[in-house]
Structure 1
Amino acid sequence: MRFDKTFAPADGGSGAASLPGAASVTPSRPKRRRGFVDRALTPRAPISARAALIAGLVVWAIVLGVWSLLTYGGVMPDIFLPSPSAVIERGISMVSDGTIWPNMWSSIEVILLGFIISSVVAVPLGLLMGTFRIVQAALEPLVNFIRYLPVTAFVPLFILWIGLGLSQRVAIIIFGTFFQQLVMIMDGVRAVPEDMLNASYTLGSSRRDVLTHVILPAAKPGIIDTLRITMGWAWTYLVVAELVAADSGLGYMSMQAMRGFQVDKIFLAIGIIGILGLITDSFFRLLRAKTAGWAA
């Protein structure tokens, strides 16, 4: 059979597009690029490194601006709030005469010793508490009781039990961080999905393999985050440890400055602690990115 007529589209387009029942295709419009404000106000939307840097610098500029306005503008007297230049001059003076270094190294020694000892014990014990219910049931009530006790209340007891010196200050750092680390690591281990454990057992893994090759790697990001957070608490307890019966350290320097109404020296000690804290925080952030970047 031969067809004598052909179908041609009335609008001059292709025949396939004009056949009955054929779906019409509408060209899509190009997506409008999202502006910075739109991205910034979207929950958990990523921003560029440049935008993050600018945002941080803006906040610092506001803080320094308000500080300068209060001091240089005469709103606050120097005896209560020193000017930024006064703090910088004090820092240059103490660096020049070398008096800042013994205090700074003394504080770093206390922090490192106390934090390392606390972490070496807390990480494996917290791992056991989060993995085995019997260990959790045995230790959690006592741990929860102790971690609510104020560290400052134990300062005179540590002086009585241990005496004055480095050991007493290190003990305060350990007491202030150990029990918090224990609970946070335990909770991080317990957050490992149960399906991962069941899948490992199904594939024939032993209990030891599940602990070392499933639970520990899955909990690693949380453990590093716990260490980063509790390091901040350790720097906070440093001042408590050095305010009483210390002969060196940044806290000791602050106490001596308070007795002489040297407020700029107090602000200098606070600033140094903050800078050292930022350095340790950056270290743990880098460690997490290098060893557990998959969880970012």
Structure 2
Amino acid sequence: MTQVTQVSTPAGRMPAPAASASGAGDDSAPRRRHPWLSPLVPVGGHARWLLGLSFFAVFFALWAAVTLGGFVPRTFLADPLTMAREGVTLFTQYNFLGDIGMTVWRVVGGFVLAAVLAVPLGIFMGAYKAAEAFFEPFVSFCRYLPASAFIPLLILWAGIGETQKLLVIFIGSFFQIVLMVAVTVGGARKDLVEAAYTLGATPRGIVRRVLIPGAAPEIAEILRLVLGWAWTYVIVAELIGSSSGIGHMITDSQALLNTGQIIFGIIVIGCIGLVSDLVFKLANQRLFPWSSIK
């Protein structure tokens, strides 16, 4: 019978195996060396801002090289310097600030109206399957109808005033929000619902204390995403029968072949949307700190 002798170190512990030169056996080595190239590894706040700004810098550099280098005629694509001069002209001579204010008011008005009506209906559909069976086919049908297709009818019914533009945004946002909220609420964890019933909760209490708080962060994220879609609807609404707004300015500039003003208007829309998106994200993080959505 062979006697097994235990060898111990002075500290009383077995020494850790030496790592190979190639790093074999160390799963975290690639992550330490290249953290940005590892899946699902978060990026710090400063690095995220730096990477985001770097893309814009590269984009504008390529744009300037293509236009200022003469590769594309300026009639078809204005260079960044011309675009900036046209932007100053819009603000100083054509009251472009008023156009921006009108467009923002239309987006906010139509989107808030849609959200106020769509979120409760979506919660109702997600919580009660009978309501979902009743409303879902019609909501799904309307969700595929482009909001721009309603513009001729809305002009006929409401004229070319503000009501028509608000309705375009409402139609484009309402049905999307309803269905997405219903899916979110309907996907609640069943164990939480059963636990609430065990503790004596009523059906109304389940909706108020389990389903709504659990789905609230995702509902806020849905609203943030649909707000971006609302901007596309308002520009389409302003392209037809409008005397103010960013879309109206773009239409006038297109008639004059002023691509500098067109590009400036598009960039302004993107900047406003980016700011509103960041504000929405910060508000969601403050209101729902338990959410995993970043």
Superposition TM-score, scaled by structure 1 size: 0.89
Matched, 1:26 2:15: yes
Code of the aligned partner of 2:240: V
Give the CA deviation at 1:282: 1.1
Contact 2:126 / 2:186 at 8 angstroms: preserved in 1?
yes
**Identity rate, percent:** 32
The aligned residue for residue 84 of structure 1 is 80
| CA–CA distance in structure 1, aligned partners of residues 256 and 83 of structure 2 | 15
The aligned residue for residue 276 of structure 2 is 280
| CA–CA distance in structure 2, aligned partners of residues 93 and 144 of structure 1 | 45
The aligned residue for residue 236 of structure 1 is 232
The aligned residue for residue 184 of structure 2 is 188
Contact 2:8 / 2:14 at 8 angstroms: preserved in 1?
no
Give the CA deviation at 1:153: 1.3
Residue of 49, 54, 63 corresponding to 1:53: 49
The aligned residue for residue 22 of structure 2 is none
The aligned residue for residue 113 of structure 1 is 109
Deviations 1:175-203 (A, max 9, x none): 01110011111111112111110010011
Give the CA deviation at 1:55: 1.5
Give the CA deviation at 1:95: 2.0
The aligned residue for residue 68 of structure 1 is 64
**Does the C-alpha gap of structure 1 residues 12 and 209 become closer, same or farther in structure 2, counting only changes over 3 Å?**
closer
Indicate the SS of the match to 1:295.
Answer: coil
Residue of 145, 150, 158 corresponding to 1:154: 150
Indicate the SS of the match to 1:293.
Answer: coil
| CA–CA distance in structure 2, aligned partners of residues 245 and 47 of structure 1 | 46
RMSD: 2.2
Residue of 165, 172, 177 corresponding to 2:173: 177
Residue of 220, 225, 228 corresponding to 2:221: 225
Code of the aligned partner of 1:284: F
Give the CA deviation at 1:47: 1.8
Give the CA deviation at 1:102: 1.4
Residue of 125, 128, 133 corresponding to 1:129: 125
Superposition TM-score, scaled by structure 2 size: 0.89
Residue of 279, 286, 292 corresponding to 1:290: 286
Q: Which moved more, 1:58-67 or 1:31-40?
A: 31-40
Matched, 1:168 2:157: no
Indicate the SS of the match to 1:231.
Answer: helix
Q: Which moved more, 1:238-247 or 1:146-155?
A: 146-155
For structure 2, the 5+ residue unaligned runs are 20-25
Give the CA deviation at 1:214: 0.8
| CA–CA distance in structure 2, aligned partners of residues 147 and 264 of structure 1 | 35
Q: Which moved more, 1:178-187 or 1:47-56?
A: 47-56
Give the CA deviation at 1:29: 6.8
Give the CA deviation at 1:52: 1.3
Give the CA deviation at 1:206: 1.4
Code of the aligned partner of 2:137: P
Q: Which moved more, 1:94-103 or 1:177-186?
A: 94-103
Give the CA deviation at 1:12: 11
